[in-house]
Structure 1
């Protein structure tokens, strides 16, 4: 190279580190430092350009004249050797005379385009491998920062959602028994109505629980409530919902149950289980339970079921207590009539 050509090459190394100077035969007379990272410099200098880079678009070229004919057009290249990377390029013919480079040659300036992240990974490129005015590195930093910020935001949202779910679960949970509480009843019923799922609702009160509190104290009462909740849970299915809605008041929602005989069977099993004495510090605590049930499928519309089923189950519970406690009653319309007659008498 002449002194002027060498000066041009040094200048291009700083301004266009991905350039190649081609001679009139299409061989690489000089390669920018970043482009040279694609293969050893001694292999690139003097090699034929089209033997190292495959021209994918706009047309396949075989000679230097073919390349010069593409001057000013956007070129799409692919490295032939490893690593296989797509490149974008533009070619500018050099003036005749050779004062600024090989006579009859061309300057090809290239970039990694959208493959820049893969090139950085495979070639271990740093900011020094790009021109000082190239915004690629800054853009990558911004993308990385944005990605990190989005990931941090995503994790924060997950934590907030988890905290919200935990807070809601805590708000809907009875701390003593671990069952759902009164606040959870309306959302459970609303969800069942919205899904048009038939169910049975059983209201259950513990009998003789006040006597346990009076005789053995509130600690014994808490112990009895915890074991009673555990016994009721043991007699129900995973898909059923058991709630403590008052001091010794419980609601059992049996999902998908439409048969009154089955409701009776489940309720009577629960009552029998609760009648077993509960030991508290060596003292037997004796309780029982009264229960009343109603079926959602007996109501013509879901809205009617949601409004009436709790009331009808409560009427059935009253009938069970009137029958001597320790038993179960399914709601019957005559029970409502009996209650209204008592109120009017």
Structure 2
């Protein structure tokens, strides 16, 4: 019979005379010379009071535990050593996985024929499979989030795109939140593209995106709607003075001359603003249309300025009537 490396040999006097090479890993030191019943507590099926009673249990499995580690349950097969002593062939039973992790045991701490090796192999395979599954799920979730982000982001400026705008407007339409929408076009941008090239034009658009981020709140939705058209959705912001300050700051900063690729570039911006009203709060698309009307009015009035939508302008560009100065 192959004895496990965790065996304990007990002499005729009831003292431990030898332990397996892996026993000392259990954190109790080397108990050689100590009385067996001072090191171990036998739980069941019976508690022998003498060596003769212990040898009489040969072939049976005892449930026992180390007195120094009461939480560590062990099983011990009693073997008569034919010299008035006994050998306990120890194992951990179903707690083997916890024991391996707790005490840093390896395959060398178990007999090669021990079925526990199969269990450890299965546990390792399961752990590896779970780790691989977790890693795969993390990669898939990362890829999904990246794809969703890409689908809602303008590739050049990193701002949101029209798809993101549509989603935000849909959510606003289902809420009671007041909001303002700013439509902004760049002035003289086409001239920059035509004379200095699209590379410079792209840099200008990135600069504008940076200005938008620096001038707006974290909760505001910044959208490049296409070309040199931008939309800002400001949930919870309807105060005309604050909106005036925002629009004026955007126009002022965007109109500052910039040196790009050795070229002195100057553009401008016009802004149309529409504030949600209680009767039409559930229809953000109408608010977007009104902001577009106000933007057109700003451009018609000389560019480089902002205009608030008013009812006398109409709801669409086809109805636009400019206020009399």
Q: Which TM-score band applies after superposition, normalised by the shorter structure? A: 0.7 to 0.9
Q: 1:255 to 1:135 in 2, by over 3 A?
A: farther
Question: Which residue, out of 68, 75, 100, partners 2:63?
Answer: 75
Give the structure 2 partner of residue 248 of structure 1: 228
Give the structure 2 partner of residue 97 of structure 1: none
Summarize deviations over 1:67-92 as a string: whole Å, max 9, x none.
Answer: 76x96686231253xx8872323676
Question: Which residue, out of 205, 211, 215, partners 2:185?
Answer: 205
TM-score of the superposed pair, with normalisation by structure 1: 0.71
Secondary structure of the 1:263 match is: helix
1:53 aligns with 2:40: yes
Give me the whole-angstrom Cα distance separating, in 2, the residues matched to 1:22 and 1:280: 89
Question: Which residue, out of 64, 72, 75, partners 2:50?
Answer: 64
- Contact 1:299–1:305 under 8 Å retained in 2: no
Give the structure 2 partner of residue 3 of structure 1: none
Give me the whole-angstrom Cα distance separating, in 2, the residues matched to 1:37 and 1:59: 27
Q: 1:263 to 1:74 in 2, by over 3 A?
A: farther
Alignment of 1:1-345 (within 5 A): 11=1, 14=2, 18=6, 26-27=14-15, 44=32, 47-55=34-42, 57=43, 63-64=49-50, 75-80=63-68, 86-89=72-75, 101=82, 108-117=88-97, 119-120=99-100, 125-127=105-107, 129-190=109-170, 197-280=177-260, 284-296=264-276, 298-299=277-278, 304-336=282-314, 341=319
Summarize deviations over 1:36-67 as a string: whole Å, max 9, x none.
Answer: 876888x53x6432112134x45995833997
Distance apart, 1:157 and its partner CA: 2.5
Say how many residue pairs are matched.
318
**Higher gyration radius (CA):** 1
Give me the whole-angstrom Cα distance separating, in 2, the residues matched to 1:218 and 1:123: 66
Q: 1:163 to 1:261 in 2, by over 3 A?
A: same
Give me the whole-angstrom Cα distance separating, in 2, the residues matched to 1:323 and 1:88: 90
Compare 154-163 and 19-28 and name the one that shifted more. 19-28
Q: 1:102 to 1:222 in 2, by over 3 A?
A: closer
Unaligned 5+ segments in structure 1 are: 1-10, 95-99
Summarize deviations over 1:219-265 as a string: whole Å, max 9, x none.
Answer: 44334333333333332233323221111100112243132331122
- Contact 2:79–2:89 under 8 Å retained in 1: no
- Contact 1:79–1:86 under 8 Å retained in 2: no
TM-score of the superposed pair, with normalisation by structure 2: 0.75
Give me the whole-angstrom Cα distance separating, in 2, the residues matched to 1:32 and 1:141: 23
Give me the whole-angstrom Cα distance separating, in 2, the residues matched to 1:76 and 1:308: 79
Give me the whole-angstrom Cα distance separating, in 2, the residues matched to 1:137 and 1:313: 73
Distance apart, 1:198 and its partner CA: 4.1
Give me the whole-angstrom Cα distance separating, in 2, the residues matched to 1:321 and 1:37: 83
Distance apart, 1:147 and its partner CA: 1.3
Distance apart, 1:299 and its partner CA: 3.9
Distance apart, 1:28 and its partner CA: 5.0
- Contact 1:294–1:312 under 8 Å retained in 2: yes
Q: 1:335 to 1:130 in 2, by over 3 A?
A: same
Unaligned 5+ segments in structure 2 are: none
Q: Which has the higher helix share?
A: 1
